[in-house]
Structure formats: structure tokens, C-alpha cells
């Protein structure tokens, strides 16, 4: 079997894809939204960017970490302890 297709390599590729996607979300929340200064939309009575920086982003961080954990659990189970070496 070519090395890039053995189960650990497949597992690792799925992991890096997931991490890359979530890192992108993280970067948007951390660096783009606070600087965008969007004030035309209001969220819960506050300007969008301000509310996102003070309340929304921290909540979103919890959610994306939770999501990562869930996906990795599923991936771990699918890859199975049989491949654990």
C-alpha cells in the first residue's frame, strides 16, 4: 500500500483538513470581525463588530472547540483502536 493511503495517514489528513477549516474560522473571529467595524447591523442592541468582539467570539470559540472534539471522537472511533499500533 502506498504510504499516503495507509489508515494513519488517512486519519491524519482528515485531522489536518478539519484543523485548517476551524483555524480559518478562528482567524476570521479574531482578526477580521473586530477590525471590520460593522456598525450598520446591530446584535442584541450593540454594533455587530463590538458585540462579536465582547461576547460573540468567545462563545464561538467554545463552540468550535466543542465541534472539533466531537468530530475527532468520531474520527478516532472510525479509525478504531485496531489501528492504534
Partner 1 sequence: MAEAGAAARPGAGAGSQRSLHRRYAVYVVTLVLLTLGLGALERVGVSRAWIAAIFLLAPVALYASIGLACRTTHSAEYFVAGRNVPAVYNGMAIAADWMSVASFMGLAGLLYTSGHAALAYVLGWTGGFCLVAFYLAPYLRRFGQYTIPDFLAERYASRGARLIGALVCVLCSFSYVVAQIYGVGLITSRLTGFSFEIGVFVGLGGVLVCSFLGGMRAVTWTQVAQYIILFAAYLVPVVWLAVKQTGVPVPQAIYGERLQKVGALERQLVADPKEREVIDALRAEADRYRARLADPEAALLRERSAAQERIDTMLAERAPVRELRHAERVLLALPKDAEAAREAWTRKRDALDERARPLGGLPPQSQAFAGDPDGGPAQRQAESDAKINFVALVFCLMAGTAGLPHLLGRFYTTPTVREARRSVTWALLFIVLVYLNAPVLAALLKVEVMQSVVGLRFDQLPRWLVEWSRVDSALLSFSDVNRDGILQFGELKINGDIFVLAAPEIGGLPFVISCMVAAGALAAALSTADGLLLTIANALSHDVYFKTLAPDAESSRQVAISKVVLMVVALGAAYVATLRAAEIMSLVTPAFSIAAATLFPALVLGIFWKRMTGWGAMAGMLAGLLVTLYYLASTHPGLRQLLGLTGEPALWWNVHPSSAGVFGVPAAFAVGIVVSLLTPASAAGTQFVEQIRRPSAG
d(CA 65, CA 57): 12
Q: Which residues bind partner 1 (CB under 8 A)?
A: 8, 11-12, 15-16, 19, 22-23, 26, 29-31, 34-35, 37, 39, 42-47, 49-51, 53-55, 57-59, 61-62, 64-66, 68-69, 72-73, 75-76, 79-81, 83-85
| Closest residue by Cα to residue 64 from 32, 18, 33, 17 | 18
d(CA 12, CA 71): 13
Which residues are 42's β-sheet partners?
Answer: 47
**Closest distance to partner 1 from the beta carbon of 63 (Å):** 9
**Closest distance to partner 1 from the beta carbon of 71 (Å):** 10
Which residues are 43's β-sheet partners?
Answer: 46
**Closest distance to partner 1 from the beta carbon of 13 (Å):** 11
Amino acid at each position: 500500500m502506498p504510504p499516503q493511503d495507509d489508515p494513519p495517514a488517512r486519519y491524519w489528513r482528515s485531522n489536518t483538513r478539519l484543523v485548517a477549516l476551524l483555524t480559518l474560522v478562528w482567524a476570521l473571529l479574531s482578526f477580521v470581525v473586530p477590525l471590520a467595524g460593522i456598525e450598520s447591523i446591530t446584535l442584541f442592541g450593540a454594533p455587530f463588530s463590538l458585540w462579536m468582539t465582547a461576547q460573540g467570539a468567545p462563545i464561538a470559540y467554545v463552540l468550535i472547540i466543542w465541534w472539533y472534539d466531537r468530530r475527532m471522537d468520531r474520527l478516532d472511533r472510525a479509525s478504531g483502536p485496531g489501528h492504534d499500533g
